[in-house]
């Protein structure tokens, strides 16, 4: 038998291993710094993002109510909504609001007709018109909650009929339908970043990179070679997510599936180039994983995937405009939920394309001809 099997357990030898591991962390200042700073950062990120309810949902209320004597219930409900921080009252007409909803700039538009107060006083019942984006049930519920509370404070038990019209051709989706676009965007952010940085750092540490430098490959050819392989993985992830969503859970895709796949590929490539850039600052696999997480977690919190951007604190809402996932989710939601095409999403597509070029240039400039120890 091996002599090792006869040795008694030694806690001292275990402690020697422990000291060696801790010493490695102490010497690797970047890793140790991330271990300390990342929990602090993530707690502040999610604390600031999830510390409140949904607020500042943009709506328009057009009040044409002529009143009944000195009573104007339309105006009273309008004033109550002004005081409710769940909604953000915008100036405009019912028709303008309907157009803004179709372009994605508004959630709901209300209209109080000229005879609203008269009908309410004489018959105890009246109607209001509501044009609303039904693609996000949670936000729609907040709008209805604000309207209900305002009416209860004014109408004193009288009835009201809401003539609802849903935007985007009557689109109204389940929780799964509205979640899938964000899930797809996050998968293409986190998994592609993780796979790409691990691929690059392994080839670097394993000296494969040095052997590639002895070939006629240029830096551009080498990076593009990696990108083509990883892009196939990005498309595979997109196919899997959409396939499960559509064929198993019945998720609706109102727009072009081809455009959706193109968007997934473009966004996946942006994250691949970003991963190449980040990998140049990692000395080992552990650091590369931490860098991927450092990008993925704030993207999750700030992109509007968990809570609407309008409900975020002003500073964080501004930061969300610099998060690529914010625009990727806008693209995926626009195609899947609203049936939008390039005509409506050209800005977001252009921005993702420019980010892809920018990350490629940064990856090329920061690429090192030396292997990491």
Q: In which band, very low, low, confident or very high, does the pLDDT at 93 lie, cut at 50, 70 and 90?
A: very high
At residue 301, the pLDDT reads: 80
From first CA to last CA, the distance across the chain in angstroms is 38
Mean pLDDT of 264-282: 84
At residue 157, the pLDDT reads: 64
DSSP class of residue 158 equals -
> Does the pLDDT value for residue 60 go beyond 90?
yes
Residue whose C-alpha is closest to residue 201's, from 38, 359, 373: 373
> Does the pLDDT value for residue 42 go beyond 50?
yes
DSSP class of residue 160 equals E
Q: Which residues contact 189 (CB under 8 A, 6 or more apart)?
A: 271, 295, 296, 299, 324, 325, 328
| pLDDT tens digits for range 98-144 | 999 988 889 999 999 999 889 888 888 888 999 998 888 888 889 99
> Does the pLDDT value for residue 348 go beyond 90?
yes
Stronger pLDDT, 210 or 97, i.e. the higher one: 97
Percent pLDDT > 90 in the chain is 18
At residue 216, the pLDDT reads: 63
Q: What does DSSP say about strands 159-166 and 57-63: parallel, antiparallel, or unpaired?
A: unpaired
Range of weakest confidence among 52-56, 187-191, 292-296: 52-56
Q: Which residues contact 368 (CB under 8 A, 6 or more apart)?
A: 280
Spatial distance between the Cα atoms of 82 and 87, rounded to a whole number of angstroms:
8
Q: Report pTM.
A: 0.73
> Does the pLDDT value for residue 354 go beyond 90?
yes
Range with top average pLDDT, 157-166, 203-212, 214-223: 157-166
- What is the per-residue DSSP string for 264-331? HHHHHHHHHHHHHHHHTT-SSHHHHHHHHHHHHHHHHHHSSSSS-GGGS-HHHHHHHTT-HHHHHHHH
At residue 219, the pLDDT reads: 67
At residue 1, the pLDDT reads: 47
216: which 2 tokens? 């006629």
Answer positive or negative: Cα dihedral of 141, 253, 189, 367: negative
Spatial distance between the Cα atoms of 178 and 135, rounded to a whole number of angstroms:
7
Spatial distance between the Cα atoms of 340 and 73, rounded to a whole number of angstroms:
38
Mean pLDDT of 324-340: 90
> Is 59 exposed, middle or buried, given 0-12, 13-18 or 19+ CB atoms closer than 10 A?
buried
Q: In which band, very low, low, confident or very high, does the pLDDT at 368 lie, cut at 50, 70 and 90?
A: low
At residue 215, the pLDDT reads: 62
360: which 2 tokens? 């490629």
Residue whose C-alpha is closest to residue 175's, from 245, 118, 70: 245
Spatial distance between the Cα atoms of 237 and 240, rounded to a whole number of angstroms:
5
Q: Which domains does the chain have, with CATH numbers?
A: 57-170 (3.40.1710), 175-366 (no CATH)
- What's the mean per-residue pLDDT of the chain? 80
Spatial distance between the Cα atoms of 309 and 132, rounded to a whole number of angstroms:
18
| pLDDT tens digits for range 212-267 | 556 666 667 767 777 777 777 777 877 887 787 778 877 778 889 889 888 988 89
């Amino acid at each position: 038998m091996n002599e090792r099997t006869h040795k008694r357990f030694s806690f001292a030898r275990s402690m020697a291993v422990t000291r060696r591991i801790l010493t490695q962390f102490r010497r690797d200042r970047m890793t140790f710094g991330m271990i300390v700073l990342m929990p602090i950062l993530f707690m502040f990120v999610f604390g600031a993002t999830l510390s409140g309810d949904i607020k500042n949902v943009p709506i328009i209320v057009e009040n044409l109510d002529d009143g009944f004597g000195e009573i104007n219930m339309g105006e009273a409900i309008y004033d109550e909504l002004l005081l409710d921080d769940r909604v953000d009252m915008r100036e405009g007409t019912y028709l303008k609001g309907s157009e803004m909803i179709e372009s994605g700039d508004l959630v709901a538009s209300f209209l109080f007709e000229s005879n609203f107060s008269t009908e309410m006083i004489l018959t105890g019942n009246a109607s209001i018109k509501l044009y609303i984006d039904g693609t996000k049930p949670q936000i729609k519920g907040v709008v209805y909650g604000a309207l209900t509370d305002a009416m209860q404070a004014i109408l004193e038990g009288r009835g009201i009929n809401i003539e609802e019209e849903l935007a985007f051709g009557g689109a109204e989706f389940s929780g799964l339908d509205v979640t899938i676009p964000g899930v797809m965007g996050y998968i293409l952010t986190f998994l592609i970043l993780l796979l790409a940085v691990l691929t690059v750092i392994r080839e670097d540490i394993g000296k494969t990179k040095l052997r590639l430098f002895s070939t006629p490959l240029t830096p551009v050819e080498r990076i593009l070679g990696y990108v083509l392989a990883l892009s196939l993985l990005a498309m595979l992830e997109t196919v899997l997510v959409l396939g499960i969503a559509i064929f198993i859970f019945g998720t609706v895709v109102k727009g072009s599936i081809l455009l959706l796949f193109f968007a997934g590929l473009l966004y996946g490539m942006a994250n691949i180039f970003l991963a190449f850039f980040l990998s140049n600052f990692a000395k080992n696999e552990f650091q590369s994983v931490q860098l991927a997480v450092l990008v993925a977690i704030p993207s999750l919190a700030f992109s509007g995937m968990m809570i609407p951007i309008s409900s975020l604190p002003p500073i964080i809402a501004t930061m969300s405009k610099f998060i690529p996932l914010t625009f990727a989710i806008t693209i995926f939601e626009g195609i899947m939920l609203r049936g939008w095409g390039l005509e409506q999403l050209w800005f977001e597509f252009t921005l993702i394309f420019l980010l892809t070029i920018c990350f490629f240039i940064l990856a090329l400039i920061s690429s090192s001809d030396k292997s990491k120890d």
